[in-house]
Structure 1
């Protein structure tokens, strides 16, 4: 891996490019998020959406507020962040080659040692070309940087890949209880609001019963998400929905909406 710094690709597009404005937006979303549930066990993974923060941020904040209550920086030593590629084609799983990722808020270090360890055990290509323009992982950073400054990241983009292979990677990460897994995925895309409600309700039920057979029409991050659901099934973990809305509920019209869900796996 190189020592390069990955600049923010979508600052000013998916979230404010101004540090103060971005900080204010994230803090306000966390304050407005619903009171997190008390879980019988610590979270092992979260599912969070990845659109522009004005659209999906209120839903993502429900998951991050759960972490806020659990002292994220003290309980975990890394976040393994898996999500889909939107810009550059990818088959399988890929890591970047930079040492650090930047947003207007801060610089986040990558856990290069753990990434190298994963590459010894799993088929992870090094694809900076796929990572550099991608937003699905980057939009999680403002929340992570605000809640746990200094917590290192293991960013993995997941294209078409079997649920079994993704689950094996997640379960390997779970061998260290200090590794938190985040799955970045939106739900349905560009349906009228009423149709999206019906479709996302079905998808949400599949997620909560750990059914690893989601299709890309249900969730754009289905390959990573199916891996998590299979891993949760292997470990007999529970999954709860923390929040579910559409862009028509947050900042958009209701003619064609995108669905967002936040879930905790424990």
Structure 2
């Protein structure tokens, strides 16, 4: 089975040339980094990213910060992408092991060897499953940015329906192990932050949450999210990837209000580098 794009023409342009132009505009947007990335030839040196996954017209300039930084540090052989499940379909932890994923910029192959290794290490928690991925956008929207930067890489897509802290830490242990075995990985957590409140409220809530994540205070992060109703949709993927690295540097943290102008009903976005 080849995974066809489901949000092209909605979250990003469905024509290849238009999509390249759209991505370039994300880098040059006033909220973006201001220049196109320069891609390193360095293969080894696994790093992580936290990247938003909304439509490019809203979150693209923030996502551009993450990819701009990553491109200067390494050229990965495989990208592991961990995203949340917005559809409710599939298993608790779904890893796509079928054939390639397609976007308007071409196809990306699956790293079957690494995917099977991750499944084997999970003791039945992570399973091969396509249903969780069929209509889910959180991984798909990362691919055109990656294709814009890199011409030769594979992916391992993982969707988390079960985002409990204990599950996220289990996934983190696996990511740490594969990172020790492979030095040519880029590991991405795909998540937006607080939803549908004003720019000021969202920034206040998100700043508190991001501060806890920097300090690795995960239990507090989950508690604060519940108590203050911070509606970050991918807290599980964020913790799973964050805990796999020592340091976390925030590259951009704002809301859709700063990007598209509506500051009354916003979504929070942040981009971070993990090393």
Name segments (4+ residues, structure 1) moved above 4 Å: none
Structure 2 contact 97–115 (Cα < 8 Å) conserved:
no
CA distance in 2, matches of 1:42, 1:59: 23
Secondary structure of the residue aligned to 1:134 is coil
Instruction: Give the C-alpha shift of residue 49 in structure 1.
Output: 0.3
Structure 1 contact 210–239 (Cα < 8 Å) conserved:
no
Partner of 2:259: 250
Taking only aligned residues, the RMSD between alpha carbons, in angstroms, comes to 1.9
Instruction: Give the C-alpha shift of residue 28 in structure 1.
Output: 2.4
The CA deviation string for residues 233-262 of structure 1, in whole angstroms up to 9 with x for no partner, is xxxx11110001111111251221100000
CA distance in 2, matches of 1:231, 1:156: 15
Residue correspondences, number:
252
TM-score (norm 1): 0.88
Partner of 2:40: none
The CA deviation string for residues 28-74 of structure 1, in whole angstroms up to 9 with x for no partner, is 223443279xxxx95621100000011111000001001222242xx
Partner of 1:119: 119
CA distance in 2, matches of 1:34, 1:57: 11
Instruction: Give the C-alpha shift of residue 227 in structure 1.
Output: 1.9
Partner of 1:207: 213
Change (3 A) 1:198 1:256: same
The CA deviation string for residues 73-105 of structure 1, in whole angstroms up to 9 with x for no partner, is xxx211110010101245631112421000001
CA distance in 2, matches of 1:107, 1:118: 22
Gapped runs of 5+ residues in structure 1? none
Partner of 1:145: 147
Structure 2 contact 26–60 (Cα < 8 Å) conserved:
yes
TM-score (norm 2): 0.86
The CA deviation string for residues 150-199 of structure 1, in whole angstroms up to 9 with x for no partner, is 21000000122423212112112211121221000111111112111110
